[in-house]
Amino acid sequence: MTATMGETLLDKVWRAHTVRTLPSGQTQLLIGLHLIHEVTSPQAFQMLREAGFRVRMPARTFATIDHIVPTVSQQRPFGDVLAEEMTVHLVRNCKEFGIPLFDLDSGRQGIVHVIGPELGLTQPGMTIACGDSHTSTHGAIGALAFGIGTSQVRDVLATQCLAMAKPKLRQIRVERALARGVFAKDVILTIIQRLGVKGGVGYAYEYAGPVIEGMSMEERLTVCNMSIEGGARAGYMNPDATTFEYLKGRPFAPQGAAFDRAVAWWQSMATDAGATFDDVVRLDGAAIQPVVTWGINPGQSVGVAGRIPDPAEAPGPERVTWREALAFMDFKVGQPIAGTSIDVAFIGSCTNARLSDLRAAAEVARGRKVAKGIRALVVPGSQAVAKAAEAEGLHEIFQEAGFEWRKAGCSMCLGMNEDKLQGREVCASSSNRNFIGRQGSPTGRTLLMSPAMVAAAAIAGAVADVRELLR
């Protein structure tokens, strides 16, 4: 289909994947890539079996094990009976329905949102679905990627389609340039703080502007990953030379002449000059500081030099949540966030466990020691990330500093394996959610920040400004 002038990537990808308009007014959208994992797929496969369906497009479906996988020893059977059971189910379902599985012995296992781009499965112009909220990550490659629930996983398995309403589109432009010590995580936390955790409801976000265009692919993945935390249905960046360079040579990317043909099509899917948006928001990238969350949602954050805000100054509907957050986190109004003692430091998750994240944290940890009494974990996002990091000696830098070097998985992002906070512990975390109970303890407290800031906090034993530790 030929694109008309002035269209956005959202328009073009949506149109290219529309099967028909449903009586409900929603679009029946073809899904180009379906990624599955052990937690949200067992029930979906069961429903599929009961309905007597097969998987409609097994060649467009890929599985990995990430959420429950242990990170100390991954020897089967796992010590955790439930984790072992979920894994057995996934292996069996993949075998029965002919779905490729990146198992623990594949060298390709890892967090679903890390391995998709890393293997070149995620490509520009695609529609992607996965039974996990942070599927928005894949938008960094120039795809429309949607997190879905278990019954939708069933629908995609059975039909390779989803019924969806087309979202509105907000372009978020990040202008000028970031200062040293300010990372992609700080950019997205600032966006969410500015627009609110519900600010993106009904929208997809197109990220643009010099700061975004200057980012590496891994930095872009961090930004898109947290679109959902700002309430957006999806988030994407337009594919460009950085995207194509990143994809070249990856195992599932087109090879040789097919790659060049693909690049021409991928370029044609980018938003046209002159396209219009439902809303445009501009941020000054040069004004962004290293950010730390102080509350119980990712929008409750301040710059590291800032102080805990007064709920009386919160936008009306948020006053109650701010008060709840202060009480839960045990913060006082006006208290500086820097200096807040931590118990645990976690570098990992689909937001920030790629090679460049580990490099940035290792740069801070190199030649320094984790403060006494702090439990510090580094959990690579995939087996490939672990291998690349080990080839550079990053694991030794972390271990010499006193961090534990773990095997790939979601780990303490959500504490579905043995990596959990205990009691009221405070965790400096490079993950994406600081909801109450998220890290495995109903009373545990999470402070979100960039991986370099987590490393700085581990060394100081408290929230610290990474800019003072950069060499």
Count interface residues toward ligand SF4 (CB under 6 A).
14
Structure tokens at 211: 């700061």
- Cα–Cα distance between 222 and 334 in angstroms, integer? 30
Closer of 122 and 238 to ligand SF4 (Cβ): 122
Closer of 126 and 416 to ligand SF4 (Cβ): 416
How near is the Cβ of 384 to ligand SF4 at its closest, in Å? Answer: 16
Rule CB under 6 A: say whether 111 interacts with ligand SF4.
yes
How near is the Cβ of 347 to ligand SF4 at its closest, in Å? Answer: 12
Closer of 262 and 413 to ligand SF4 (Cβ): 413
Closer of 135 and 160 to ligand SF4 (Cβ): 135
- Residue pair 449/428 in contact (Cβ under 8 Å)? The answer is yes
Rule CB under 6 A: say whether 432 interacts with ligand SF4.
yes
Stretch that binds ligand SF4, among 47-55, 109-117, 297-305, 458-466 (CB under 6 A): 109-117
Distance set, CA 402 to CA 344, 373, 376 (Å): 12, 10, 7
Rule CB under 6 A: say whether 226 interacts with ligand SF4.
no
Stretch that binds ligand SF4, among 304-312, 319-327, 368-376, 409-417 (CB under 6 A): 409-417
Structure tokens at 22: 């449903």
Task: Please spell the DSSP secondary structure of 76-136, one letter per residue.
Answer: SSPSSHHHHHHHHHHHHHHHHHT--EE-TTSS--B-HHHHHHHTT-S-TT-EEEESSGGGG
* Pairing of β 234-237 and β 203-208: parallel
Rule CB under 6 A: say whether 113 interacts with ligand SF4.
yes
Closer of 11 and 66 to ligand SF4 (Cβ): 66
* Among residues 12, 17, 67, 375, the one that binds ligand SF4 under rule CB under 6 A: 67
Rule CB under 6 A: say whether 350 interacts with ligand SF4.
yes
Rule CB under 6 A: say whether 132 interacts with ligand SF4.
yes
- Residue pair 331/300 in contact (Cβ under 8 Å)? The answer is no
- Please give the DSSP secondary-structure letter assigned to residue 182: -
Is it true that the peptide bond before 317 is cis, omega within 30 degrees of 0? no
Structure tokens at 64: 């990995």
Tell me the three state secondary structure of residue 361: helix
* Among residues 17, 134, 170, 407, the one that binds ligand SF4 under rule CB under 6 A: 134
Q: Which of 111, 138, 134, 166 is nearest to 236 (CA)?
A: 138
CB count, 10 Å around CB of 468? 11
- Residue pair 305/338 in contact (Cβ under 8 Å)? The answer is yes
Q: Which amino acid, residue 345?
A: A
User: How many degrees, rounded to 5, is the angle at CA 313 between CA 308 and CA 314?
Assistant: 85
* Site of tokens 């929008």: 299
Rule CB under 6 A: say whether 406 interacts with ligand SF4.
no
- Cα–Cα distance between 309 and 312 in angstroms, integer? 9
Closer of 402 and 440 to ligand SF4 (Cβ): 440
Stretch that binds ligand SF4, among 110-118, 170-178, 259-267, 417-425 (CB under 6 A): 110-118
How near is the Cβ of 6 to ligand SF4 at its closest, in Å? Answer: 35
Closer of 269 and 410 to ligand SF4 (Cβ): 410
How near is the Cβ of 81 to ligand SF4 at its closest, in Å? Answer: 20
How near is the Cβ of 67 to ligand SF4 at its closest, in Å? Answer: 5
Query: Which residues would be at the binding site for ligand SF4 (CB under 6 A)?
Result: 66-67, 111-113, 132, 134, 349-350, 410, 413-414, 431-432
